[in-house]
Structure 1
Amino acid sequence: MPSPSPAAAPDGDTAEETGARSAERDRAVDELLDVAVGVLGGARRDGQHLMARAVAQSLDSGEHLLVQAGTGTGKSLGYLVPAVRHAVHADERVVVSTATLALQRQVLTRDLPLVADALAPHLPRRPHIALLKGWHNYLCLHKVEGGYPADDQGALFDLPERAGAAEHPDAGEAAPASLGQQVVRLREWAQETDTGDRDDLVPGVTDRAWRQVSVTSLECIGSACPKLDECFPERARASAREADVVVTNHAMLGIAASGSPHVLPDHEVLVVDEAHELADRVTAQATAELSLPVVQHAARVARRHGGVPGSDLEAAGEALAGAIVPLPEGRFSDGLPPAVHDAVAAVRDAARTLLSLLRPEAGGSAGGAPADGGRKVAQSAVLTLFETAERMTGTPEDLARTVMWCARGEDRSGATTTRLLAAPLSVNGLIRTQLLAGRTAVLTSATLALGGSFDPMARSVGLELRPDAEPVGPTSVPGADPAPADATGPVRWRGLDVGSPFDYPRQGICYVARRLPPPGREPATDAQLDEIEALVRASGGATLGLFSSRRAANAAAEAMRERLDVPVLLQGDDQLPTLVARFAADEPTCLFGTLALWQGVDVPGRACRLVIIDRIPFPRPDDPVRSARADVVARSGGNGFMAVSATHAALLLAQGAGRLVRGPQDKGVVAVLDPRLATARYGEFLARSMPAFWRTTDRDVALAALTRLRDS
């Protein structure tokens, strides 16, 4: 843990002196928060002040804080005000990370500048703020001027955009245009942009076009670049190294946790907003893929841009495809089958040979100069391939901490591709050692206390005790990563729920359709469709339908379009922001969809007075990572279902039900069409994770309430 900041009480102080110092700190934070809220034109919220004081105390004491701040609390200002104050007074850099692009924009373009402007007259100096994203999110001037080859026009565009999509959630939403037109526009934009940040280009362009003007950090030629003094990602990193507060995203935290900590500037404080998504984002960033298109791409790039033969690698790729195509989809519970292991090892060895040939001293530029753009692109592709294959053929100890599985899916050409994937069995150790160790962390969200406890969320991010430590807080559970060897005693953290300004029992009803049969394998039963029809008819539309699968959403939307005379929008009909805007603008309209609608949809007012949840959102039984984690817990004597599946479902239920009440005047019904929420032993755990709506299983009560709201 970091040493206490100068604001903390020194050793030897009396309890009275310590209390006086804490009271002074709390008073200063309250006053600064009042100033910031006043500039925004808002009103005082007790929960926001409670949160701000708790964050300030955590930053002074070095104790990690998990703070649940319900909708309407104003949690952004609740952590930004004490964080900015601490950064300036203690001269300690703060990194703020968000999960979604929308919240990142809000923090960077509205909340943080407002706080900086409002607090500047009351601080020793004006705070400096900066934005930091992944390298690929910035335009490369050297590539624009021809310093790199054009991207491979073959298999490259069939590869998944896993890392890029994680860092840029809005990728691919540009207006239709030819690749050439988009690239011409990008080249013109390069002459006028001050940031090179993809998000500053409005309207945007497709991923394929953006690749023509950007490079990854591995492809960057670094100090050899003739545009180094003008480099946009270097400028962003230089600004971050001088900033008091740096805003980034969970994808960057995932990169840092996965072994590249220097992607972030040195910092003493980490604030994680939307912290309920952190573990999943780190898992996604740490997941690697191996397939024939991936191998073919690396071999082709090595040959075209690196000038080395790729025939051995291509042959190894064909052998790999021959080994994995006959495999069934699913997890390898006992490691890769021998034939597949040998095929992956052959890919690894062929990639290692190419890496030797691609080293500058083995065939690089004359005089040992740094590699040019083409060779760096080749090195990056082959190195990524080598590291993936090496990871899949690692030591027994490494493989015991890895989940591997086979999956099939369509590439961008519509062809079916068989893939091998590998993910960490657990990421709590990575988060603890790479992100939390040596600094103070504040993790916040509207949903952190699952089943009424912070323990599940704390364990997911590595906040647990050493097995031999004195149990002064939540203890380790079977299946969780142990504390790192360099830990020095109990992990100091606390959880705080500051509540919500909304009166959930008076503003909302949670209706559980206990009379319905438990959901089965079919996407939607006739009884469910009849229930949906009755609820939507009573509500007069204004319904957000949250479904556990695309098939279920499609079936419900198709049926309601036939049965009802209100507009029914379906996820996939248009871009999601467009659909949400249409839903919010027309009161009778309904919007049905899947996971993307469970989180982040913010539609206050009469446009959303009914939220339908078709079933408890347990993970699929064949989810490879979660099933592996549940198996580990069960083998250790724990309850794998409760530790993994029920916790996952509780989080999504809390998020989904939270779509109903978004403002102090909102009223409505959350209807759960899964009777297990009322009848199963785990139902109460799930219900306690949801907003504290008034609960009922009486269908007539729910219909009557919706009818009154419709007619009011």
Structure 2
Amino acid sequence: MANHSSLPPEILMPETFALVAGVRAAYVVEPTGEVVSLSFTDAARRLKSGPPPVLCHARQTAARLKMDGLRGFDVLELFAFIEPARFCLPTPGGVAQALGLSVPRGHEDEAISLLTSARTLLERLSARLTSDAQDARQAARLAHAMNAGGWPWARPVLAALGEGDTPHSQNAARAFRVWEGLPKWEERGGETPPGDAPVSPQEARQRLDALLAGGRAEKRTEQQMFTAGVTAAFDPCDIPGQPRFVLAEAGTGVGKTLGYVAPASVWADKNAGAVWLSTYTRNLQRQLDGEMDRLYPDPEQKKRYVVVRKGRENYFCLLNFQEALSRLQMRPDGAIALGLVARWAGKTRDGDMIGGDFPAWVGSLLGRGLTAELTDTKGECTYTLCEHFNRCFIEHSKRRAKRAKLVIANHALVMIQTALNAGGGAAAEGGAPTRFVFDEGHHVFDAADSAFAAHLSGQETADLRRWILGAEEGRRTRSKGLKARLDDLTADDEKLDHLVQDVRQAAHVLPGPNWRTRLNDTVSQAPSSGAAEAFLAFVRQQVYARDKGSDGGYSLECEAFPPIDGLLDVALELDQALMTLENPIKGLIKRLLNKLDDEAVELETSERTRIEALAGSLERRALLPVQAWRSMLKALRETPVLDGNATPEKPSDFVDWMSVERTHGRDLDVGLNRHWIDPTKPFAAAMSQTAQGVLITSATLRDEGEWTSADQRTGAKHMQSPIVYVAQKSPFDYARQTRILVVTDLNKNSVSQVSAAYRELFLAAGGGGLGLFTAIHRLRAVHERIAPDLDQQGFPLYAQHIDPLDVGTLVDIFKAEPNSCLFGTDAVRDGVDVPGQSLRLIVFDRVPWPRPDILMRARRDHFGGRAYDEMLTRLKLKQAYGRLVRKKDDQGVFVMLDSALPSRIATAFPKDVEIQRVGLKDAILETKAFLSDHA
């Protein structure tokens, strides 16, 4: 280091003011210590003419001040640099709490705390000169590089490290070479298949007792019974194609997570195999990972036995990062974002940028494109050709998962990979798992709906063209296309080279750069840019002609039948062009797989790995989508044209429709869509072929106490296996702990009345309110009216779709601030797990009936008409109500502002809780009295 003096380095604080923006006003701490409040206008004027302030989350602050942009000494950036890969809420209080400081109360106190937090962080960094000299050296090199990019904190950071402004080396880019310090993985031999030893209920209970030891959780009879019941999923499979299949509903408070972890971990220990634990939300994935500390208190042991697996698009890509570094000369300010990422990359547990230890607020702070740019979102991995392959986070994760005992995954990854394994093609993975637990099982239907859908759209087809051809028209990107990824293999294989050329030539039929601009032309004027663009232009015309809401700013849709004149002709032309693309892709995959046999003696392990990966990516990324698109075009052309009022016979398994995705009046995408009417059908088929044991569990599987809806929503009805049902009631006394109120005298169509209701109910509860909305525009309108009043009373209101923060972060803030309130839609309703006083009131704006779009209408016809709508609505209400009580001493009030809540829908709530239909005045009084009594 530069400082060779015995004197401690100087703590150099910025000579400027600290700023916090509330909802009504901004609060400033002057360098003299004086605290003043300013109007937003005065604050914005000062920011434009004065020095940059110390603040917390510049984008959030700028949004509140209604400014286009704002730079300053952001304490979050300083925290991310000094404490990389560490969790912290992106608020002044969150930073203070993470540093062990007093949590501020009120906006003025928050502004003062920013200065204290900043000084504390700099002091911690300075202390590393002696406690962690290597980290201090790395931090200094990066700070010099970030200083060249104009990072405001660079000089204070360098001063804390005893450094001057001038770096020791002129090669600043070397500071970013994080890959040099990352460990390498090595190839291992094939894994031994797991055994088939069962798990007895007694073994599962004993493991559960061990997990609960130490007094960190109470023992519950309900949990013991649940654990014993779900062990059936771990019995040996007796009949091929008939895995053990268990549906288990565990009411809130049973403790289902540890309840299934106990038998899963016993099975993994006894059989030397992995159980995959799948969740739907990132929040539960993170929570489940945390629970593993009970099973493996030693971090090294946990790292060896527990792996979090996600899709490739979630992980930090070292090659993408290196490519971004190459652009620093043209964009030196990019050094700030890349420097913060480099600090994180050197400390991360597994390189997960989406829901892992990469703070979500870093992406929102520096621009959401940051994570998309630095992850493998486009599927362009070069595998062993990549110089970082043996340090790759994705490959690390895949290899660790094969040796793990418990793999925490998500429904999307599990379903897609299981379907590929069942197909047995090039994309199938060897050593695939055979035991699965699907938590949040009420989302299996939705996850399968997304996983098995197909979209012949502008975005999907253009992405495939870019994946095959690489960058076009001088665009700067690392995307080199298929030829570059296979160049060394085609050099001495003329047939392989010809196949690559054929694929590239055929790919020109897909939409090229700037396809959206051309698509705005009318069909008659559509340029000859290929059959795909011509087809999409006809689709767009049909949608605009038939959707009655085409004058608005929202997305549009229409039935695919009957097609407009000319559409079938271009559909046939596109199908023939796609066949010209499909055939050489098939030949390319076959040729690559043949190389594994023909050159078995010569190929090194790394070469085999790469060829297998290339064949798999060709199947997954190109062949399967093209085949799905051709199937959709064939169905469109084969739809009979009938006279009179007759309708065509529709395919029994699918619903196809056309759509134009729009935002703010602009077309984003156009296409023909296909969804399974019952997506659990392919899910069940894949599980039948690959799994030996499946447990699907949730607090809300059944509807009105019957298993029919669970069978329908989980794929159980399609299984040949006998189904084992486990139901464990919640131990909570809902009649004592909750109240359910339906407001009868409110005009739900009046924004002012609904806003007043939310405001007064939240005030009556003293904060801790969750507002759920069935439409984003109503959420925005109510937030605009009541946020200032709540803020003035000391109850901050956070909101999905308004605050520039992801849902998980908003929920974390809501959980940490007991007097705060939160607005959200479905994602918030499903992702909230807030025990204690932080959530004591839920207010729903309307009965959450399903949106009557084309897909929903088809499913309603298939699953039973109105009864299907009512079942879905009850399950949504049951999920929302279940957020209210998470512990035995919780209490809360559930309020529905829609008087049109039918009694047949109200059966979603516990039978022993009286549903009170009251006026708004009485609802406010009852809320205040009930929560005051239990305070």
Q: Distance in 2 between matches of 1:363 and 1:259?
A: 20
* 1:285 equivalent in structure 2: 451
* 2:929 equivalent in structure 1: 708
Residue from 47, 52, 61 that aligns with 2:222: 47
* 2:671 equivalent in structure 1: 419
Q: Distance in 2 between matches of 1:217 and 1:691?
A: 50
- TM-score for both structures, normalised by structure 2: 0.59
Q: For structure 2, which runs of at least 5 residues remain unmatched after alignment?
A: 1-193, 238-243, 423-427, 472-479, 484-503, 511-528, 544-555, 600-606, 639-648
* 1:249 equivalent in structure 2: 410
What's the offset of the Cα at 1:83?
1.2
* 2:740 equivalent in structure 1: 510
Residue from 654, 663, 666 that aligns with 1:402: 654
1:81–1:585 Cα change, 3 Å: closer
Q: Give the secondary-structure state (helix, strand or coil) at the position aligned to 2:395.
A: helix
Give the aligned residue type for 1:287: A
Q: Give the secondary-structure state (helix, strand or coil) at the position aligned to 1:677.
A: coil
Deviating more after overlay: 401-410 vs 259-268: 259-268
- TM-score for both structures, normalised by structure 1: 0.75
* 2:865 equivalent in structure 1: 640
What's the offset of the Cα at 1:234?
3.0
Any conservation in 2 of the 1:186–1:213 contact (CA below 8 Å)? no
Note the 1:361-510 alignment, pairs <5 A.
Answer: 383=623, 386-394=626-634, 400-410=652-662, 415-436=667-688, 438-464=691-717, 483=718, 487=720, 491-510=721-740
What's the offset of the Cα at 1:277?
0.9
Q: Give the secondary-structure state (helix, strand or coil) at the position aligned to 1:441.
A: strand
Give the aligned residue type for 2:291: D
* 1:668 equivalent in structure 2: 892
Note the 1:195-234 alignment, pairs <5 A.
Answer: 195-198=350-353, 199-202=356-359, 204-205=362-363, 208-215=369-376, 219-222=380-383, 228-234=389-395
Give the aligned residue type for 2:875: L
Q: Give the secondary-structure state (helix, strand or coil) at the position aligned to 1:510.
A: strand
Q: Distance in 2 between matches of 1:342 and 1:540?
A: 64
Residue from 917, 927, 935 that aligns with 1:697: 917
Any conservation in 2 of the 1:65–1:442 contact (CA below 8 Å)? yes
Residue from 426, 438, 450 that aligns with 1:272: 438
* 1:33 equivalent in structure 2: 208
Q: Distance in 1 between matches of 2:445 and 2:822?
A: 29
Note the 1:268-347 alignment, pairs <5 A.
Answer: 268-299=434-465, 302-303=468-469, 304=471, 305-306=480-481, 308-309=504-505, 311-313=508-510, 314-328=529-543, 329-332=556-559, 334=561, 339-347=566-574
Q: Distance in 1 between matches of 2:384 and 2:466?
A: 27
Alignment partner of 1:350 is 2:585: no
Deviating more after overlay: 505-514 vs 328-337: 328-337
Give the aligned residue type for 1:112: M
Any conservation in 2 of the 1:549–1:594 contact (CA below 8 Å)? yes
Q: Distance in 2 between matches of 1:117 and 1:589?
A: 34
Residue from 801, 813, 826 that aligns with 1:572: 801
Q: Distance in 2 between matches of 1:211 and 1:587?
A: 34
Any conservation in 1 of the 2:751–2:781 contact (CA below 8 Å)? no
Deviations 1:306-357 (A, max 9, x none): 4745654342233123201212333426476674454344344434435667
Q: Distance in 2 between matches of 1:282 and 1:26?
A: 31
What's the offset of the Cα at 1:590?
3.1
Any conservation in 2 of the 1:504–1:694 contact (CA below 8 Å)? no
Deviating more after overlay: 418-427 vs 203-212: 203-212
Q: Distance in 1 between matches of 2:714 and 2:562?
A: 26
* 1:71 equivalent in structure 2: 252
Any conservation in 2 of the 1:269–1:441 contact (CA below 8 Å)? yes
What's the offset of the Cα at 1:292?
3.2
* 1:621 equivalent in structure 2: 852
What's the offset of the Cα at 1:224?
5.7
What's the offset of the Cα at 1:543?
2.2
Any conservation in 2 of the 1:335–1:399 contact (CA below 8 Å)? no
Any conservation in 1 of the 2:421–2:429 contact (CA below 8 Å)? yes
Q: Distance in 1 between matches of 2:831 and 2:252?
A: 11
* 1:115 equivalent in structure 2: 295
What's the offset of the Cα at 1:231?
4.0
1:210–1:667 Cα change, 3 Å: closer
* 1:594 equivalent in structure 2: 825
Larger Rg: 2
Residue from 73, 93, 97 that aligns with 2:278: 97
Any conservation in 2 of the 1:220–1:376 contact (CA below 8 Å)? no
1:61–1:34 Cα change, 3 Å: same
Any conservation in 1 of the 2:401–2:407 contact (CA below 8 Å)? yes
Q: Distance in 1 between matches of 2:453 and 2:319?
A: 30
Q: Distance in 1 between matches of 2:819 and 2:248?
A: 37
% identical equivalent positions: 24
Q: Give the secondary-structure state (helix, strand or coil) at the position aligned to 1:326.
A: helix
Any conservation in 2 of the 1:451–1:689 contact (CA below 8 Å)? no
What's the offset of the Cα at 1:516?
5.1
What's the offset of the Cα at 1:666?
2.1
Any conservation in 1 of the 2:232–2:724 contact (CA below 8 Å)? no
Give the aligned residue type for 2:253: G
* 2:315 equivalent in structure 1: 138
1:196–1:602 Cα change, 3 Å: closer
What's the offset of the Cα at 1:619?
1.0
What's the offset of the Cα at 1:579?
3.8
Q: Distance in 1 between matches of 2:783 and 2:538?
A: 41
Aligned length: 623
1:543–1:269 Cα change, 3 Å: same
* 2:22 equivalent in structure 1: none
Any conservation in 1 of the 2:743–2:923 contact (CA below 8 Å)? no
Give the aligned residue type for 2:402: R
Q: Give the secondary-structure state (helix, strand or coil) at the position aligned to 2:716.
A: coil
Give the aligned residue type for 1:555: A
Q: Distance in 1 between matches of 2:322 and 2:616?
A: 16
Q: Distance in 1 between matches of 2:320 and 2:887?
A: 47
Give the aligned residue type for 1:317: A
Any conservation in 1 of the 2:531–2:577 contact (CA below 8 Å)? yes
What's the offset of the Cα at 1:69?
1.9
Give the aligned residue type for 1:195: D
Q: Distance in 1 between matches of 2:922 and 2:589?
A: 78
Give the aligned residue type for 2:802: D
